[in-house]
Amino acid sequence: MTLEKIAMTQRAMAEEQQARIGNQKWTQYLAAFIATIGGFIAGTALGWTAPAGPMMENNQYSFVISNESLAWIGACMPLGAMLGCPVTAGLVDKLGRKNMMIMLCIPTLVGWAMMIWAESVAWICAGRLLTGFASGSLSVIVPLYTSEIAEKEIRGTLGTYFQLQVTGGILFTYIVGSYFDVFGLTIICAIIPIVYVALMVLIPESPNFHLMKGNVEKARLSLRYFRGPYGTVDQELSIMQDSLAKTERERVPLMEAFQTTPAKRGLFIGLGVMLLQQFSGCNAVIFYATYIFKEAGSAMEPNTSTIIVGIMSVIATYVSTLIVDRLGRKILLLSSIVVMAICTLLIGAFFYMKANEYDVSSIGFIPLTSMCVFIVLFSLGFGPIPWMLIGEIFPAQIKGTACSVACMANWFFAFIVTKFFSSLVSAIHIYNTFWLFTLFSILGTFFVICIVPETKGKTMDEIQEMLGAGSDLTPPTHANASIDTKGKY
C-alpha cells in the first residue's frame, strides 16, 4: 500500500470517527431540553397573570380582588425570584445542579396549591412568591448546567433553550387560559413540575460538579453519557481537572475573587445585558399588545392577539437557537437592540400623534408592524442570549454567586417594570414611556459594540483570557525568579 493510500485511509477513518462523535451530540440536546423545562415552569409562572388577571376581575375567586391587588399579584412573582437567586448561589455547589432542579419543584407545587385553594389575596401573593422563588432559582441553575454539559460548538444553541422554554411556558398559559377558568389553568400549570421531576431522573449530574466533589469516576460516567462512546472523554476530563486544579490553586476569599479583572468585567457585562433586557421595553410591548392591535384597527379577540404575540416569540426564539452558534452572540445582540430602538421610537411617535389629535388613520399599521418586528428581534437577541451569556463569562470560582447576582438583578428590573409601568404611563404619557425605552436601547447599542465580547466557539479559559485573566498577576521579580525546578527557593 502506498503512502498516499495510507494517508487517505487514515483521513477516512478520522472523518468517520468525527462523524460518529458528531452523532453523539443528541444526548446533550436531550439533557438540555429536559433541564430547561425549568424555564417552561418559570414561563408559566410569568404568563399566568395575563389570562388569570381578567378572570380574577370577574370574581372567579370567592373574594374581591382590586386593581392594586392585581398589581401586587403580578409583582410578587419577580419579587420571589429575587429571593431565590442568592439562596441558590449558596447551595448549587453543595447540593448539585440536578438535585437542586428537582428539589425546587417542591416550592413550585406548594405555590400553585396555595393559588388553587386561595382564601384571600394574601394566599395568592404567597403562592406567587413561592413559584417566583423557584423560577428565580431555576434561572440561575439551568443556564449553569447547560453551559457545563455542552461542547463549545453547541454551547450557544443549548444556552438559548432556557429562554425558548420560558417563551413556550408563557404561550402555554395564554392558550390554556383561553379554554379554562382560573382554577383549571392553575391546576394544569401545577402538573408540569411533576412531569419535570420524572424526566430529570433520566439525565446525569454535571461532570463539573462531580469533579468539584472529587469523584472522578462519576464525572467520567457523566461525560461519557454526554459525549458518547466515541468521544474523547479522558482527554476532556483531564482538561477539566486541570482547569479546576488551577482554580483551586488560585482560590482566594470570595470578595477578593470578585476584585479580579475578569470577574469585574464579567459582572459588568452580565448586569448590563440583564438591565437592557428588561428596560428595552419588552414587557411594555407585551402589556400593550392588545391595545396596539385595537389601535391598528384589528377586530381580533384579546386572547387571540396575545396568543399570536406568544407564537411569534416562540418561533423567533427557536430560530435564535439555530443561528446563535453560526452568527455569534454579538451580531444578534446588536441587530436586536438597534431594531428594538427603532420600533419603540415609532410606537411612541404614533401614540404622540394620536394624543395630539393628528389624523393617524392612514398609518394605523405602524404600531402593529413595529410591535411584531420588536417581538421577533427581541426573541432573536436580547431575549435568549443574556441567559446564555451569564453561563459563559464568569470565572469558575465565582460562577455560582455571580450568576445568581445577575439573575437577581434581572428579576429586580422585572419587578420594577411590572409594578410601576402603569404608574409611569400615567405620569409621563405612553409615548414618553416608549421613548424612554428607545433611549435605553440607544445606550445598549454602544454597550454591545464597546463592552460585550464575542464568545462564539471559545472555551471557558479562552473567554476568561479575553476578559483579562492574567492581567492581575504581578510580573515575576528578581527574587521570585530564582525558584528552582522543584518549586523551592
Note whether 42 and 189 are same-domain residues: yes
CA distance readout (Å), 396 to 51, 266, 460:
41, 12, 9
**Residue 489 belongs to a domain:** no
Looking at residue 35, its pLDDT comes to 95
Looking at residue 484, its pLDDT comes to 39
Note whether 164 and 291 are same-domain residues: no
**Residue 242 belongs to a domain:** no
Note whether 194 and 302 are same-domain residues: no
Note whether 165 and 286 are same-domain residues: no
Containing structural domain, residue 88: 1-203
72-101: pLDDT as tens digits = 888 899 899 988 888 887 788 889 899 999
Looking at residue 379, its pLDDT comes to 87
Whether the full predicted model's pTM is greater than 0.85, yes or no, is no
122-180: pLDDT as tens digits = 999 999 999 999 999 998 899 889 988 888 788 878 888 888 899 999 999 989 998 99
Note whether 273 and 336 are same-domain residues: yes
Note whether 447 and 369 are same-domain residues: yes
Number of domains in the chain: 2
Q: 8 with 131: CB under 8 angstroms? A: no
Note whether 190 and 256 are same-domain residues: no
Note whether 42 and 164 are same-domain residues: yes
Ranges of residues in the chain with a pLDDT under 70 are: 1-23, 230-231, 250, 252, 254, 287, 290-291, 295-299, 469-489
**Residue 300 belongs to a domain:** yes
Note whether 172 and 33 are same-domain residues: yes
Residue in the structure block whose three cell numbers are 450557544: 156
Instruction: Show the DSSP H helices in 62-154 as ranges.
Output: 67-95, 97-103, 105-116, 121-149
Alpha-carbon distance 274 to 341, whole Å?
16
Looking at residue 478, its pLDDT comes to 39
Residue type, 200: M
Note whether 289 and 176 are same-domain residues: no
CATH number for 437: 1.20.1250.20
Tell which phi-psi region holds residue 366, choosing left (phi > 0), alpha (psi between -120 and 50) or beta: alpha
Note whether 188 and 264 are same-domain residues: no
Q: 146 with 391: CB under 8 angstroms? A: yes
**Residue 368 belongs to a domain:** yes
